[in-house]
Amino acid sequence: MKTILINSLGCPKNLVDSEIMAKSLSDNGYVFTDKIEEADAVIINTCSFIEPAVKEAIDVILETAKYKEKGILKKIIVTGCLVERYKEQIFDSIPEVDVCVGIDGYNDIASVLSMTEKTIICGPKSAVDFMNKERILSDNTASTYVKISEGCDNRCTYCTIPSIRGRFRSRNIEDIYKEVEKLCSDQGIKEITLVAQDTTAYGNDIYGKPSLHLLLKKLETIKPLKWIRLLYCYPELISDELISMIKNSSKILHYIDMPLQHSSDRILKLMGRTGTNARYTELIDKLRSNIPDIVLRTTFIVGFPQETEEDFENLCEFIKKSRFDRAGFFEYCRETGTPAYKLKGQIPKKIKIQRRKEVEKIQYNILQSKNDDRIGMVYSIIIQGISDDGLFYIGRSYAEAYEIDPVIYVSSKEPLSVMDMVNAVIVAKDDDSLIAEVV
């Protein structure tokens, strides 16, 4: 049983875990396929953060189980967040699953494949050693994610992550530095995106205070590394020191992702968030005054319990006033085991959908206006592929996060290759994407 298919679901942090598992299996003689008909075993690395992610994971497991019923597959291994939440139910409901592996069981993934009895492997959710292992990157591009911590100590009332992933725990600076240096020197990586459940809390557990700025200072010394991007920065910990570092760095991109979740002080308090409308507005003004070309990305939850029309209107006005460059919107999902599950005043699904569509329309109009303003501007762009129609190269500037934001379609008189960095002028827009020509 030597041919494996790894199906990685969910967020970039999950993808990093899957890439580490792939390297461990490769070192033990396993080979990989992306065709389930060729696989001896399938590893499904799951997400279960919210109800739609749970549904997706279960659907994928059930679809995979059909191949085992037909005798095509020998083994199905389910790993990740779904195991931490529903390990017993997985075995009871889907008997085709052979092994369930929680987030502390990845170290033994090679031995898991040789197990002959149904097994659940879950640890204390306290280690970080697994993240220091080498990876097989899933994409042949100049960009990749680097996971700097695991778990979360925030207690947002809607969130299942602390119960799934455990307490916040950071990798040390030297280990992260070694990983990034190797990625750049051995695999040609030019851009890293730092990810964690709470990136700005990095180091608080091992250095006694938030130390993201110290990590960034160390990573800046890696010569082949061109771009450093920050995702999942909690606004409460975006300090003046961090802002100054972003402003004065030649490698830290003027791009920051900070999940705000709402703008109504009453709803933020119900969510267990410590921010307020006034503090958020002050932070946005500070970021833009210090770094005029900064790109701000955020996320919002609509339809949280007890969200009134007044609360929702507050959010709409906040979005119009703040004019975020990027924003994602989610309907509140009522998750068992969270404090918000018990709150009175749950919002009907129909209203949640209506509110999400309304804020998405507001943000779409903002994006269109901002894209109009970018026409005629020149950007340094990383090439990451070719469009499906073969007419354009696909690339990103500092304003587009890898695998998250819309891409830039690039035309060039000279042939380009993946991982090239070119200067290009924006000449037009295509819906939410841009079109550029190499200068």
Residue 78 sits at φ, ψ, to 5 deg, of -105, 125
Phi-psi region of 306 (alpha: psi -120 to 50; beta: other; left: phi over 0): left
pTM of the model: 0.95
Q: What's the rounded Cα separation, in Å, for the pair 346 and 332?
A: 9
Q: What's the rounded Cα separation, in Å, for the pair 58 and 50?
A: 13
Find, among 174, 228, 231, 172, the residue nearest to 204 by Cα: 172
- Residue 64 DSSP SS3: helix
Residue 198 near residue 168 (C-beta atoms within 8 A): yes
Q: What's the rounded Cα separation, in Å, for the pair 270 and 275?
A: 11
Find, among 233, 228, 148, 140, the residue nearest to 190 by Cα: 228
Q: pLDDT tens digit string along 239-278?
A: 999 999 999 999 999 999 999 999 999 999 999 999 999 9
Find, among 129, 128, 148, 298, the residue nearest to 213 by Cα: 148
Residue 360 near residue 329 (C-beta atoms within 8 A): yes
Rounded to the nearest 10 degrees, what angle do helices 173-187 and 212-219 cross at? 30
- 331 HSE (CA, 13 A, CB side): 17
Find, among 136, 142, 149, 106, the residue nearest to 22 by Cα: 136
Distance of CA 416 to the CA centre of its chain: 28
pLDDT-flagged residues of the chain (< 70): none
The angle subtended at Cα 325 by Cα 211 and Cα 320, nearest 5°, is 115
Q: Please name the helix (run of DSSP H) or strand (run of DSSP E) that holds residue 330, with its range, or none.
A: strand 326-331
Q: What is the pLDDT of residue 114?
A: 86
- Write down all domains in the chain, each with its CATH number in brackets: 3-121 (3.40.50.12160), 129-373 (3.80.30.20), 378-438 (2.40.50.140)
Q: What is the pLDDT of residue 276?
A: 97
Q: What is the pLDDT of residue 245?
A: 96
* Distances, alpha carbon 174 to alpha carbons 4, 14, 137, 159, in Å: 32, 22, 21, 31
Cα end-to-end distance, the chain, whole Å: 52
Q: What's the rounded Cα separation, in Å, for the pair 196 and 202?
A: 8
Looking at this protein, which amino acid is placed at residue 256?
Answer: I
Find, among 96, 75, 80, 85, the residue nearest to 46 by Cα: 80
Residue 4, burial from CB neighbour count under 10 angstroms (0-12, 13-18, 19+): buried
Q: Write out the two tokens for 374.
A: 């970018």
